[in-house]
Chains A and B, each alone.
Chain A
Amino acid sequence: MSRIGVFVCHCGLNIAKTVRVSEVVEFAANLPEVVIAEEYRFVCSTPGQELIAGDIKKYNLDRIIVAACSPLMHEKTFRKVAEAAGLNQYLVTIVNIREQCSWVTEDEDVATKKAKALINGAVYRARLLAPLVSRFIDVNPEVVVVGGGIAGIQTALEIAAVGRKVYLVERTPTIGGHMAQFDKTFPTLDCSACILTPKMDAVLQNPNIELLTYCEVAEVKGFVGNFDVKIRQKARYVDHAKCNACLACVEKCPGKGESEFDEGLAKRKAIYIPFPQAVPQKPVIDRETCTYFIKGKCRLCEKICEQKAIDYEQADSYIEIKAGAIVAATGYDLMDVKPLAQYGYGRYPAVYHALEIERLFNSAGPTAGKVVMRDGREPQSIAILHCIGSRDKNNYEYCSRVCCMYSLKFAHLLKEKTHGDVYQLYIDMRAGGKGYEEFYSRLLEEDVKFIRGKAATVTHRTKNPEEEGKLIVEVDDTLTGKFARIPVDMVVLAPAMKPRADAKDMARMLNLSTDKYGFFMEKHPKLAPLSTMTDGVFIAGACQSPKDIPDTVSQATGAAAEALTIVSKAKMELEAATAMVNAAACSGCRNCVTVCPYSAPSMNEEKGVSEINEALCKGCGLCAAACPTSAIITRHFTNEQVMAEMEGLMEF
């Protein structure tokens, strides 16, 4: 037998105007196991709360029912009152007689009757409630950041700044990401390297950051506060512990490969660092282009290395890390524009994509900063084509957000470097951002020709002698309504930013959802843009959607704060109203394992029954309804509790 106290609130006249409170109280007082029923003008007020606390002690109540406003309003308030009075908070039941009773009818009889039914249901349910104890688990204090572009670098630095250990995992041989490839950044035109390399160096110097380059995440297990992350260290064939970064090996190496960093516009050695300011400064050997690996002979690097750091026998190895939180900052890929044959990329050498032109601008790039085309000429006229693959149903429907601005930047740099004619072919000029519209305005004054129309075709088919030797960009200049043929020396495409080719694999490992393109889904587009559906995993930068550097850095800083809210606690409170399996009743059908979006249930193959990891459980009850044997108990919403409430409600 339980001892239930019922407290009915007038809420001033909000309830009392339509519900005959005294009649309801009298009704409640006569329900079985109800020891005391009281009414009060404002139960949520301090005296109201004191009334409840007093009655709990006075009548030795072990359940309380508050009939007042919606539980979404004051459930927390009354739970606190109960806890303070020594009653477990889960033994509080709120009956909603305001939002779902007194406010939605004017008929006193009807409202009073419904209030009674609702209280009756609550009494039925309350008898079956059980105290629940919040449990705490230890939290691993470390954070894994996946991706060493500007987003990952920023996140790692912020977390390290408060003294927490960070593992920064980068799959290429250096951190820096796409930003390291850029020459200038819009709209301020600061030199990208000048603002990025100090940060890269800071990563290297920071004792709280363990830099794991040439590494990939192989497996993620566990849950918020307790992740087990397995990292694959790809074989570098160079022992970085021994290497002193003299780079004599690079100089001597006869092997040649296409420089990924220079977008294939230059060669690199088989043993290489991607670019001079790479972090770390120590090289790796690319098996595919190494003479020794191809022909079995050479070993020049080994001969030259005084440190004896070359190790051709090196194999992939694995590093296991325990982490409290994970930040995914895996960035983007540029869309492959070759399939869009109308723009001639790959067919005409004078057609470049955005990252290629970035490298041409860069003084450390393949042309030492001169805009020189593949045939050695300096272009005297250039067309920049916006929205290649973006805002396009046939490719990517979204706006890639950064292309308008970097196209303006290209126009500026091209003007500056070539003094040639520059055309911008755009659909809509999107310059929303601090200083962006001003930058657009500046470019208009720089005598760049803006043509409102999406380029239709890039062709070599000339129509008159002036067009000879040029590429012709065909476009409807929509503002005049005239068809334009623009003869140019060079064409620059602004392709869509798209998710990494393997974003889906990463999403699977981290249990993230992706949108229809493959970008990682945030938990809420407005109110939780850095969180994901998996607690403890956060996202930053272009892996969530196309983004420019300022937005990426802001997100990265935010994601660091999010990760810190988890790892700054030694212990973490777990949801108490979770599900559990009554092993004796489990028939091992696996329904729960199949349906749970949080992977909380798993099969104990030995015992043939399922088990629920309560740290992962969110208490939705999906599994309980899928369980044919009623073996799953959803605490606070058990089958008996729900059905008892139904029974109580249907009595009146």
Chain B
Amino acid sequence: MTAFKDIEERLKEKAKDLLEKGEVECVFAYGRGYDERHPRPYVAKTKEDAENLVFNEYCTFNLARYAVKEPRKKIAVAAKGADSRALVQLIQEGKLKRENLVILGIPAAGMVDAKSGLTLDEKTTGAFANPVVYDVLLGDKLPEAKNSPYEVLGELEGLSGDGRWEFWRKEFARCLRCFACRKACPMCYCDPCFMDQSRPRWADKSPTLDGNTMYHLTRFYHLAGRCVDCGECTRACPVDIPLYLFHKRLAKDCEEMFNQAAGMKLEDKPVLVDFRVEDGDEILL
């Protein structure tokens, strides 16, 4: 495994090179925050800026979130496994163009959520160690996780229906409707979001259990077959709602029913705007 420090060096080098040659207008990567544990997303526009780039285990942000706002510019994006899947998914959805992107792939294992101290792996989120699509790879490829990213669902799936509802009811009830989840999510690029609509008004404006439930269920649905399991929503949540569990479960369902995982292949179509005649009715049972 390539050391984070080496990745950082290569990231700087590559960014400088791209900016100097004018191959991209800017490089989306990470810069220093108020301390080591809190790097921040950083956009390098000049080769001097590139000197400010950092990379360490706390660089958990999914920069696809920022890239999606620049569909027309030629940009470079630093992308770990899940981040690259987000880019692929956004390309599938026509939100980004492959030819406008230089993907700086970062194989990364042992990333750490600064807030919880948890390692990002198949038990939490961002199970993919290696980028699925990239132009440059800034480190050596890593072995992929051996365990299924869905094993973590076992506990919740083992509960009775009532038990699961109790679990989610409590979680939804705590939601402050701050929308940090959707702000952090690279796939939540809708502007406006359905929740901002007044016609129809899908839920009360103030955080009530019923409105929160509607918001989260609908958002989960909108991300079904699109969520790349980067975990940004969950890390962003100020009250620690484990949103990733629901997303994971729908990802698992999509893989089982439609044989497709989000953001894996450029030529795929998102599963819910696609169909196969042979899908079969058993999926409805």
Contacts and interface: CB of A to CB of B under 8 A. Distances in A.
A–B contact via C-beta, under 8 angstroms: yes
Contacts of B199: 630, 639-640
B191 A587 contact: yes
B192 interface: yes
B269 A587 contact: no
A77 interface: no
Interface in A626-646: 626, 628-630, 638-640, 643
A603 B94 contact: yes
Nearest to B188: A628
Contacts of B202: 630
A620 to B, nearest CB: 15
Interface in B135-190: 189-190
A640 B95 CA distance: 29
A125 to B, nearest CB: 13
A418 interface: no
Interface in A584-638: 585, 587-591, 594-595, 603, 626, 628-630, 638
Contact of A587 (B190, B273, B274): B190
Given A589-B93, A590-B93, A640-B199, A629 B194 contact: yes
B254 to A, nearest CB: 16
B194 A591 contact: no
Interface residues of A, number: 17
Nearest to B223: A628
A639 B200 CA distance: 6
A590 B190 CA distance: 11
Contacts of B94: 590, 603
Which of the four size classes fits the interface of chain B? 10 to 19
B273 A594 contact: yes
Contacts of A603: 94
B206 to A, nearest CB: 20
Contacts of A589: 93, 95, 189-190
A630 B202 CA distance: 10
Nearest to B218: A628
Contacts of A585: 192, 197
A591 B273 contact: yes
B73 interface: no
A628 B190 CA distance: 8
B248 to A, nearest CB: 20
B257 interface: no
Nearest to A589: B93
B284 interface: no
A415 B202 CA distance: 80
Given A603-B94, A640-B200, A643-B200, A630 B194 contact: yes
Given A585-B197, A590-B94, A626 B273 contact: yes
Contacts of A630: 194, 197, 199-200, 202
A114 to B, nearest CB: 26
A640 B197 CA distance: 12
- Residue among B95, B189, B199, B274 with the highest chain A CB neighbour number at 10 A: B199
B193 interface: yes
A628 B269 contact: no
A246 to B, nearest CB: 56
15 contacts: A587-B191, A587-B192, A589-B93, A589-B95, A589-B189, A591-B273, A594-B273, A603-B94, A628-B190, A629-B190, A629-B192, A629-B193, A629-B197, A630-B200, A639-B199
Q: 9 closest A-B pairs (Cβ-Cβ)?
A: A587-B190, A594-B273, A639-B200, A640-B200, A590-B94, A628-B222, A629-B190, A630-B197, A591-B273
